[in-house]
Amino acid sequence: MKLALAQLAVEGGAVADNVDRAVAAIDRAAEDADLVALPEIFNIGYFAFEQYHRDAEPLGGETLSTIAAAARDNSVAVLAGSIVEDLGATAARTDAPVPDDEGLANTAVFFDRDGNRQAVYRKHHLFGYGSTEQDLLTRGERTPVVEFEGFGVGITTCYDLRFPELYRELVADGATLVLVPSAWPYPRVDHWRVLQQARAIENQCYVATVNGSGSFGDATLLGRSTVQDPWGTVLAGSGDDPTTVTATVDPERVRAVREEFPALSDRRL
């Protein structure tokens, strides 16, 4: 399977322009990709906290409807990762389960090749260090794993990388590829690199991190979107400029690594 990570230039609060860039990236990547992943809060910009309430949308809102259409038009799966979701509006307009009937969530959505919503992941671990995310957002509760092209695809978001137990839960549910939309800033480059490699090694699965590119006041996203294989080997990666990272991933590689070095079966729970 060909995976494409769209490391977008994200402009704070410029929703229409950011969504246009996302659609253009999907159109380009779909020429040879099966799955395209977008960064965290790619439409508003993670650090544009003052605009969360103004630009929040339900699952059936304009941003996700546009991304679903791009997936359908290109016959490519897309992880729209993520938007600021208006939970109350979602509860009123769809039958999708929500953690609460009001408030906001950091929500990633997996669309299949037909533009159908197959998984909804709301960020579990909300960042509190120099951030207002914990004050603005509601934590997610569900950890979906969706089947696609022979993979069990799990989703986590940015800060979730620091919490290995979440990845264990996904692997127990059949995840063999974990997509990680992010808005990871400088200066924590070493943490970004080591944490994603550790999650891949300890869970013997692919981990693909798709970060944004751009500056928001004092915060600058570090880019470096990366695909790690189940042995913790980097298959593809980038610098901090806008780009698309591509890699071929194979579910048989996961099975081979787990069979050759069966560390997961040696766990004592």
Residue 16: strand, helix, or coil: helix
pLDDT digits (tens, 9 = 90+) for 129-162: 777 889 999 999 999 999 999 999 999 999 999 9
pLDDT on residue 238: 97
pLDDT digits (tens, 9 = 90+) for 86-102: 999 988 876 666 766 67
pLDDT on residue 38: 98
Query: Catalytic residue positions?
Result: 40, 123, 158
* Nearest one of 228, 185, 233 to 207, comparing CA atoms: 228
Number of domains in the chain: 1
pLDDT digits (tens, 9 = 90+) for 157-186: 999 999 999 999 999 999 999 999 999 999
**What residues pair up with 247 in beta bridges, in sequence order?**
3
pLDDT on residue 96: 64
CATH number of residue 151's parent domain: 3.60.110.10
What domain range is 159 assigned to?
A: 2-266
- Is the predicted pLDDT of residue 69 greater than 90, yes or no? yes
Distance separating alpha carbons of residues 13 and 214, to the nearest angstrom:
12
pLDDT digits (tens, 9 = 90+) for 100-127: 667 999 999 999 999 999 999 999 999 8
pLDDT on residue 269: 78
Q: Which two tokens stand for residue 166?
A: 């979440």
